[in-house]
Amino acid sequence: MPQSPTDKNDRPPAQPLSLNEISRYSRHLLIPEIGVGGQTRLKGSSVLIVGAGGLGSPAAMYLAAAGTGRIGIADADVVDLTNLQRQLLHDTSDVGRQKVDSAAATLRAINPEIIIETHPVRLTSRNTAEILKRYDVVIDGSDNFPTRYLLNDAAFFLGKPLIYGSVFRFEGQISLFHPKSGGPCYRCLFPEPPPPGLVPGCSEGGVLGVLPGVIGTLQALEAVKFITGTGTSLAGRMLVFDGLGMSFRELALTPDPACPLCGAAPSVHDLIDYDDFCGLSPGGLQGGGRDSITVESLKERIDRGEKPFILDVREPAEFDICNLGGMLVPQRDLPLRVSGLNRTAEIVVVCKMGERSARAAEFLRSAGFTNVKNLAGGIDAWRERIDPTLPVY
Amino acid sequence: MIRVALPHHLRELAGVGPEVSLEIGPAVTQRTVLDALEARYPMLAGTIRDHTTLQRRPFLRFFACGTDYSLAGPDEPLPAAVAAGREPFMVIGAIAGG
């Protein structure tokens, strides 16, 4: 099993502590595994946290409190009311504020001794390497597959350790990807992402607010261990946390010799178009897929007195929050209930964001339905552009 | 009885909880476990393995007793603890929430 970290040259340079810092970090200094040596390395270190959300909040707050010398926060979003159930970097007064600004204010309040840098941009193949190369460690607190593959590839090319965490409902995963240390990369684990809409994200499937607190905190711990050279890292291992059963499972991971990035004969030699890789390019499912209808077109038709049959393929809990008055058949139940639908009538398929409904529409077409349309952007687009009184979820 | 742990999206598709129990023959391998799983829950056919090639989907991995069996042969025996039902055969899926 790879130990942490294997190459002393990966460790940041030590920086001497002031009297004030000796007091602030005294509980660290008393731990033999950290001590003055570890704390000075923390002070000399830099960590980039991608995503100022559920995972990024505890990770950033603990790393700031721990005395990480320079912390970068990358996030292009603004604070939304739906974030506050779990994203402790932000409070109610921050709604509408740029997340990186809110995060920076919180972190500076926790520890004014450290440097906070903000990157209010969406990471892309063009800007990611420039940002990542300025930091010693990268923490993945993102919420989508394109960014996860982008960070994995960029961190690999730059030789940076990537501390991976992800959550869904009551479950979390955490690992350290650093092929330089002998472990696998994210692509070794999952060479391809799931098709869009197949695996719901937290915005569609939900997440218990405490859950990213557990995983994000462990990401911070893993960063502290890596920087100080303490303990055994998660390289080559993944922890899977089950909040309902309250258990951790440790799973051994091995590098894939056929990995397209870090394997023996790699085919990925540079950063690519990750939206395209994940099936999210324009014209793909997120754009509505084929035979889609816009929310404006649907509204015009309803206003003209037409009554298109609306098939809502979300989960019952989502339907209960808000709906367009359609018939509820969750996507997973569609194969069993397809016989009850009219194969020649027009069907407008609806979900939250337009991805699940695009897949459901494709399924119906393959089952012989001849007039199926997907509502592009789903309920979210309807609320944004037609009816702002619908609740946000 | 063999225990199989499934990721969320497959639990919902099959309408089951975190684990399912299956009765299978004496040979406990990835192939026999997944064949039995798909026979019991036909809606899972094609979701874990490709319909035609029976290759594992690239966004899923197989684990048993903490060991990664994703790259092992489909007819390689699984650990005795899995065969005895003391440990689950785990299908772990990629998730992206943050």
Confidence of residue A335 (pLDDT cuts 50, 70, 90): confident
Examine the pLDDT at A20 and tell me if it is beyond 50. Answer: yes
Using DSSP's 3-state secondary structure scheme, residue A177 falls into: strand
Examine the pLDDT at A4 and tell me if it is beyond 70. Answer: no
Using an 8 Å CB-CB cutoff, list chain A residues near B8: 168-169, 171, 199-200, 205
> How far is A251 from chain B, CA to nearest CA, in Å?
4
Say whether residue A82 is in contact with chain B using an 8 A CB cutoff: no
Using CB atoms within 10 A of its CB, is residue A291 exposed (0-12), middle (13-18) or buried (19+)?
Answer: middle
The DSSP letter of residue A92 is G
pLDDT digits (tens, 9 = 90+) for B29-67: 999 999 999 999 998 999 999 988 999 999 999 999 999
ipTM: 0.94
Confidence of residue A10 (pLDDT cuts 50, 70, 90): low
Query: Contact A332/B13, CB-based, under 8 Å?
Result: yes
Distance of CA A199 to the CA centre of its chain: 13
Say whether residue A209 is in contact with chain B using an 8 A CB cutoff: no
Averaged pLDDT for residues B85-89: 97
Among A199, A240, A242, A274, the strongest candidate for a mutation testing the B interface, having the largest count of B CBs within 10 A, is A199
Say whether residue A201 is in contact with chain B using an 8 A CB cutoff: yes
The pLDDT value given to residue A347 = 96
Helix, strand, coil % (nearest 5) of chain B? 25, 25, 50
Examine the pLDDT at A328 and tell me if it is beyond 70. Answer: yes
Say whether residue B90 is in contact with chain A using an 8 A CB cutoff: yes
Predicted structure pTM score:
0.86
Which of B:10-29 have CB within 8 Å of A? 12-13, 15, 18
Examine the pLDDT at A21 and tell me if it is beyond 90. Answer: yes
The pLDDT value given to residue A102 = 98
pLDDT digits (tens, 9 = 90+) for A217-254: 999 999 999 999 999 999 999 999 999 999 999 999 99
* Helix H or strand E segment including A117: strand A115-119
Confidence of residue A91 (pLDDT cuts 50, 70, 90): very high
Query: Contact A201/B13, CB-based, under 8 Å?
Result: no
Which of the residues A202, A259, A262, A278 is marked catalytic?
A202
Averaged pLDDT for residues B62-81: 96
The pLDDT value given to residue A5 = 44
Say whether residue A260 is in contact with chain B using an 8 A CB cutoff: no
pLDDT digits (tens, 9 = 90+) for A245-290: 999 999 999 999 999 999 999 999 999 999 989 987 655 555 556 6
CB count within 10 Å of CB A58 equals: 24
Examine the pLDDT at A336 and tell me if it is beyond 60. Answer: yes
**φ/ψ (deg, to 5) at A23:** -70, -45
Averaged pLDDT for residues A8-31: 88
- Residues whose CB falls within 8 Å of the CB of residue B51, separated by 6 or more in sequence, listed in order: B45
- Verify whether residue A351 is a known catalytic residue: yes
- Verify whether residue A185 is a known catalytic residue: no
Sign, CA dihedral A101-A102-A106-A107, equals negative
Averaged pLDDT for residues A327-352: 90
